[in-house]
Structure 1
Amino acid sequence: MKYPIGIITFFLALGIIAGHYFGLAQNIAFLIVIVAITLLIVSFWLSKRTFTPTIHFSVVVLFFSFCFGLSIQSVHFPPNHKLHYTHFIHSGNPIIKGYVSERLKPNDYQERYYFEITSVNQNPVNGKILLTVARDSTQNNYPHPGDSFIIADNPSPISKPLNPDQFNYASYMEKQGIFHQLKLKDNFIRTGTITKFDYYLGNFRERLINSFKTHHYSPQVQNTLNALLLGQRQDMDSTTNNAYKNAGVLHILAISGLHFSVLFYLLTILFKPFNRFKKHGRILRFLSIIIIIWGFAFITGLSASVIRSVVMFTIISLGQYLNRDTNIYNSVFISMLILLVANPYFIFDAGFQLSYLAVFAIIWLESYYRKFSLSKHKPISYITDIISISLAAQIGVFPLSLYYFNQFPLLFLVANIIVIPLSNIILILGLFVLLLNFIWTDAALIAGKALELLVIAMNSFINWIASFERFVIKEISFTLLLTLLLYVVIAFFCFWLYKKSYRNTIALLFTILIFQGAYSITTWKHNQDEEFIVFNNRKSTTITLKSSKQLTVLSNDSTALSNAAIKAYSRAGFATKIEQKPLQNVLWFSQKKILIIDSCNTYLPNLKSEIIILSGSPKINLERAINDLQPKEIIADATNYKSYIKRWKQTCIKQKIPFHATAEKGYYSLK
């Protein structure tokens, strides 16, 4: 291969994924690596003795890469470490000591943080957990990075989704090495501040953000600047975030290669005079650029896309210093290899995946779209470059975007033509204003006004683009298998673009047929399913009946069809016809009679039912109802009081009847 590091990285990634899902013990993983190293040495020795190249050495190298991926996943898996907190929290309410290391994006009800545990019951330990604090408009004393606590509580597993096909936050956090959570309520004392790197970094970042207070920006403008300049999106409101998403420019809010390319270009110009110093000028220029871009990376939070960008630009800068041209493919593959060895969990990060796929598509298609340069004039050439690069990047992330976000904005190209150059201007001006905030307040206020107008103009334009909802295709049903097959189609399409031969044409058509067949089989399989679901919905009782392509939602809530849980379920089930009907007290499914007893407390004693659903906290004698109706199973949805559910559960245990509370066990499914 022309770029062997690429296929080596690919097999390393496969090893990491296999290690995560198979969960090999650390000693077994090391044993496999030792075997792989032995085979590698023997194969290398044998290949050196032959005049013609042999394939066995290449196969062994790839096998070693796969095994090495297994081993680094095992090494980085936190519970494999003897001092991980999970080995010390099994008895009673342990005394946990630690400190806040990072603030995460909050939800509507909680502030969330990473909490570094330093000891459990005075035993030195390590590991991170999720720390949550209830949001309160009257409370301003939320934790900050570096704040230390002693907490008397037992960490609980992170809650899994209680409705089908919803985003699994517990699984996501597990892939970040986080397995438990703690809630701060009346179970802690604040013990001061731990002045480690996280503390100083958080304080410095907070100081940069607070420097904009003299400008009195609106929350929307301030939060946009926090995201664009410092990578802090925690306080971005959902309305603005959805507007960027629907306009197809959400990547603007994530610090990535776009931001680092601007910063790298500015630094290259700024430190160009250093080359005049013959003895140490070039090394000073190289070190200055590296220190600044890595410092910027730490300030913005070291996300996967940030680290990818900064590692790539480090390689490029090193090539410039050594007067050697760096091949862009090698730079991408080497940066990916370094990141996965340093943190194998990056392979599961959506930002990591989307970032690299966009870069691969841009550089792979570059020689093709460069042929269509429409003008030698720089402004027109710049616009065509934006269009070409945006299209190439969109091709690269298109299948994965369908899988993760289930929508596609048709106006993404129009939005990117305006937003990309405007965001570059805002980034340059914003960094300039940020510097002026500390050295020249009057000049900062003047430049800051221009910055505010640009941010308002950009947000207004994005909101206008996003307002054309008919141009945003939403609720697209897509599976992981379809995603992988669509990437195969795209790869063969690119091969065909470069060489329109008979063989490439046949291969492209064959992959398209495979994708179409897989899509047809997937939809057919889902359409054969028949399922009865009682959703976990506190607002109102919500039940769905799925039969073939038809999904019937039974609820007295007029907004039931817009419920996120219903949307997720219908999308995952490839349902094409959705209708809502009022809830009735008697239902039939799969030759089973289902009785709903609501707050009216009425039922006919002779109406025998296999399943009883309790809704709206009915004041009934459940023991008598069981004797009258003789059910085989009882369901209590989330509209009931917790005290009632607890009492009903005890009654069912006494009567030896299965009891399912959706607030505890999640949705109820009957097939």
Structure 2
Amino acid sequence: MHSYGAVPFVRIVIPFAAGILIYALWQIHVSPLLLVITLAFTIILQRYLKSNSRRLFRNLPWIGVGLNLCLLFTGNQFAYFKADINRADHFLRDSSEHGNAIVTLLEPPVEKDHSYKALVSVMYISGDDSSSSVRGRAIIYFSKDTAASHLRYGDMVMIPHRFTAVAPPLNPDEFDYRKYLWFQEIYATEFVKSGDWIKIRAKQGNRLLTLSFWLRDKCRQAFQKYIPADREEAVMEALVVGYRDGMSQEVQQAYANAGVVHILAVSGLHVGILYLVFDRMLFFMRRRKNWKRWQSFFIVVLIWLFAFVTGLSGSVIRAATMFSLIALGKNWNRSANSFNTIAASAFLILLWNPFLLMDVGFQLSYAAVISISAFVPYMNWWMTRETRLGDSLWRTTSMSLAAQTGTLPLTLFYFKQFPVLFLLANIIVIPLSGVLLVGGMALAIFQWTGLLAAYLGIAIAKLCWLMNAFILFISAIPVSVIHLGSFTWWEAALLLAVIALLTQYFLYHRRVYFYSSLVCLCILCISSSVTRIVQQISSHVTVYAFRGSSSLELNNSVNGLLLTDSSVIADMWRMKYLRQHNQWNGISNLALVGWSNDQSKEFQFNGRSSFFTDGPYFQFKDYRIARITRPLPTHIASRRLKLDAVIISGNPDITMSQLLKCYDPAQIILDGSNKFYRTKKWIHELDTLRIPCHDVMKDGAWLVDL
């Protein structure tokens, strides 16, 4: 292990990243004046302590504390000023309600089922009698037609000024798309119909990026032409150029279950493989002392050429920067500390874009590289290898183990699952993906040869089919994945502490590290047990916010009952979300039942009758609900039926005054199957009558604990 003083960039990047986190997570902005005051105070204090001979003051880490605070405040400033929304000329700050916007496409549009999705930069906003220059990025969905299919990177387009802020997630545990876009400095979206936009100019983008996207498209065309199978073609597009839109959900899920989904995103693994390939290709340059630096230079050029061909995505730039510094440090400074080099690359990337710190790929990449640098040198001594094949297998195994160990806390926190057979999968898939990566690049280069490209495409298709078949086989094994329930950020921090303390114990054999790891492990187990117990004794009623559909879920302990429309059951994405949400909350048995207003039913949880339905009326434990889907009877009941909640569904032609003549509800819920105009009218009536109302499409899913 190395001393803390030998890794200056580690000491710099930690407080700098902490400042970024403070702003990114909580939008806390530290005044620049505080940074100036802290820096001035640190300089004055350093001069004073240097001239003061009193040991009491000289031995205290005042200077270190001051410098760390300065770095923390600096990271906070970088994050604040990087966010375009904080600038006065951001287009969302424009008060114009009508008019047009002129936007420039920042990437080639991506084809969706019913539209073309494009990332744009908003350049100008024009009103009735004025025009202003603005800034900011947005996502535009162009209605699918022939004209939209010809849009390209750099095109300047005029669209109506109807931007809407990205909505927060409406359902519990739903993916926070707004936060995801916020970290990419995207705060608004718009859907543009056919005929509502005009292309003003073409090819207004950066020439280098234009060439980069053109090369990426040429690579994709080579795969589409010479790889016959659609599944293998989609995997090669993801593996070589990072284009994943053509992959089926089934294949992506199989890669995730096998623990090898990282090969589908062009990132550190791919650049690392190419780094090793280029290093072997230029081996002859290591034989001469004066040529070693030139070897590093050519490796860096080739790495960035690959990044250029893949479209210069954020993950590729991150990996290329990291391995460029590693390559330069290897031959230019033999004594360079690997952790310092990794930290230096992270610092440079965060200077360029502070919000990459919040990118899951960024976190996983650096966690994997740090773990490999920390563990692999020691793991190489665990086994004696007498053959080159044995050495290669053990190196692949040790790297996979090290990377999985370092990324385990993040994997459990973000994905709530652990791929049990990751080691077996990676031993096979990493070498295969390396061969496919090099083969894919060769196919892209030699696509003009015709016959050679055809044979190369057939060979790549067969090898890719073999890799896909192996991954599908691994993912189909029942024990291939362990799904977890809730796993919070502080439980991830405790697991990280356990790994770090055990590492220190095995390195230094000090019992304090071992006992400390046991304490952290006990706290982690207690936390997990308490969470599980709470889930076992809890019961919930949930009305989900699904547009155009009605969904009511009742949960008791580990069992759940979902009453919903057939459209929800047939929707793959909604069902995936529902299963995942229930899994995270300890619901292992979820029954699906279609709506029926004409039958009486009784459902049992844990062998006991807990839920009854009689036409439009439901009772779950002591909680009583009515679901109104039809016009109410004209006769008035002698006494209003007292209910805990009334769900209005299916857009019935009723008024709230009619409803309240029949029922006395504590809460009225408007689900997602109602029309907007009628929902708006009902809300106005209920506000006048001062009756509690919850519109799930506006207020989010309705959830009550029993």
TM-score exceeds 0.5: yes
User: Where does 1:49-60 land on structure 2 (aligned, <5 Å)?
Assistant: 49=51, 54-60=60-66
Deviations 1:568-622 (A, max 9, x none): 4324434456556485533456966422223485798332334321123334454
* 2: CA distance, partners of 1:188 / 1:112: 14
- Equivalent position of 1:112 in the other structure: 117
Contact between 2:258 and 2:480, CA under 8 Å: does it hold in 1? no
Out of 152, 160, 170, the residue aligned to residue 152 of structure 1 is: 160
Q: CA RMSD in A?
A: 3.1
Deviations 1:484-528 (A, max 9, x none): 111111111212222333222212211111212232344445556
The structure-2 alpha-carbon separation of the partners of 1:575 and 1:208, relative to structure 1 and needing over 3 Å to count, comes to: closer
User: SS in structure 2 opposite 1:102?
Assistant: coil
The structure-2 alpha-carbon separation of the partners of 1:555 and 1:430, relative to structure 1 and needing over 3 Å to count, comes to: closer
The structure-2 alpha-carbon separation of the partners of 1:521 and 1:225, relative to structure 1 and needing over 3 Å to count, comes to: same
Deviates more, 1:527-536 or 1:223-232: 527-536
- Equivalent position of 1:569 in the other structure: 581
Match for 2:378: what amino acid?
Answer: Y
Out of 66, 76, 81, the residue aligned to residue 75 of structure 1 is: 81
Deviation at 1:155, TM superposition (A): 0.7
Match for 1:498: what amino acid?
Answer: L
Tell me whether 1:492 sits opposite 2:493 in the alignment: no
Deviation at 1:421, TM superposition (A): 0.6
- Equivalent position of 1:38 in the other structure: 40
- Equivalent position of 1:422 in the other structure: 432
* 1: CA distance, partners of 2:537 / 2:469: 46
Deviation at 1:323, TM superposition (A): 5.0
* 1: CA distance, partners of 2:586 / 2:52: 56
Q: TM-score, normalised by structure 1?
A: 0.90
Contact between 1:163 and 1:536, CA under 8 Å: does it hold in 2? yes
Unaligned 5+ runs, structure 2: 593-602, 604-611
Deviations 1:203-235 (A, max 9, x none): 232123223344153322222111111122232
Contact between 2:552 and 2:562, CA under 8 Å: does it hold in 1? yes
Match for 2:17: what amino acid?
Answer: A
User: SS in structure 2 opposite 1:372?
Assistant: coil
User: SS in structure 1 opposite 2:107?
Assistant: strand
Contact between 1:99 and 1:194, CA under 8 Å: does it hold in 2? no
The structure-2 alpha-carbon separation of the partners of 1:425 and 1:564, relative to structure 1 and needing over 3 Å to count, comes to: closer
Deviation at 1:139, TM superposition (A): 8.4
Contact between 1:304 and 1:352, CA under 8 Å: does it hold in 2? no
Deviates more, 1:646-655 or 1:140-149: 646-655
Tell me whether 1:545 sits opposite 2:554 in the alignment: yes
Deviates more, 1:583-592 or 1:260-269: 583-592
Contact between 1:554 and 1:583, CA under 8 Å: does it hold in 2? no
Deviations 1:294-331 (A, max 9, x none): 23224324445423321222213323553534321111
Deviation at 1:419, TM superposition (A): 0.7
- Equivalent position of 2:595 in the other structure: none
User: Where does 1:279-298 land on structure 2 (aligned, <5 Å)?
Assistant: 285-298=295-308
Deviates more, 1:259-268 or 1:338-347: 259-268
* 1: CA distance, partners of 2:365 / 2:439: 25
Deviation at 1:416, TM superposition (A): 0.9
Unaligned 5+ runs, structure 1: none
Deviations 1:434-473 (A, max 9, x none): 11114x3332222222112111111111112112144222
The structure-2 alpha-carbon separation of the partners of 1:619 and 1:231, relative to structure 1 and needing over 3 Å to count, comes to: same
- Equivalent position of 2:596 in the other structure: none
Out of 178, 199, 203, the residue aligned to residue 214 of structure 2 is: 203
Contact between 1:248 and 1:415, CA under 8 Å: does it hold in 2? yes
Q: How many percent of aligned residue pairs carry the same amino acid?
A: 26
Contact between 2:416 and 2:584, CA under 8 Å: does it hold in 1? no
Match for 2:118: what amino acid?
Answer: Y
- Equivalent position of 2:273 in the other structure: 262
The structure-2 alpha-carbon separation of the partners of 1:443 and 1:537, relative to structure 1 and needing over 3 Å to count, comes to: same
User: Where does 1:20-39 land on structure 2 (aligned, <5 Å)?
Assistant: 20-24=24-28, 29-39=31-41
* 2: CA distance, partners of 1:387 / 1:633: 58
Contact between 1:163 and 1:565, CA under 8 Å: does it hold in 2? no
- Equivalent position of 1:173 in the other structure: 181
The structure-2 alpha-carbon separation of the partners of 1:277 and 1:249, relative to structure 1 and needing over 3 Å to count, comes to: closer
Q: TM-score, normalised by structure 2?
A: 0.86
User: SS in structure 2 opposite 1:444?
Assistant: helix
* 1: CA distance, partners of 2:548 / 2:119: 31
Tell me whether 1:87 sits opposite 2:93 in the alignment: yes
User: Where does 1:123-522 land on structure 2 (aligned, <5 Å)?
Assistant: 123-134=132-143, 141=149, 143-186=151-194, 187-197=196-206, 198-215=209-226, 217-271=228-282, 285-320=295-330, 322=332, 324-438=334-448, 440-522=449-531
User: SS in structure 2 opposite 1:179?
Assistant: strand
Match for 2:356: what amino acid?
Answer: F
Contact between 1:611 and 1:634, CA under 8 Å: does it hold in 2? yes
The structure-2 alpha-carbon separation of the partners of 1:74 and 1:540, relative to structure 1 and needing over 3 Å to count, comes to: closer
- Equivalent position of 1:659 in the other structure: 693
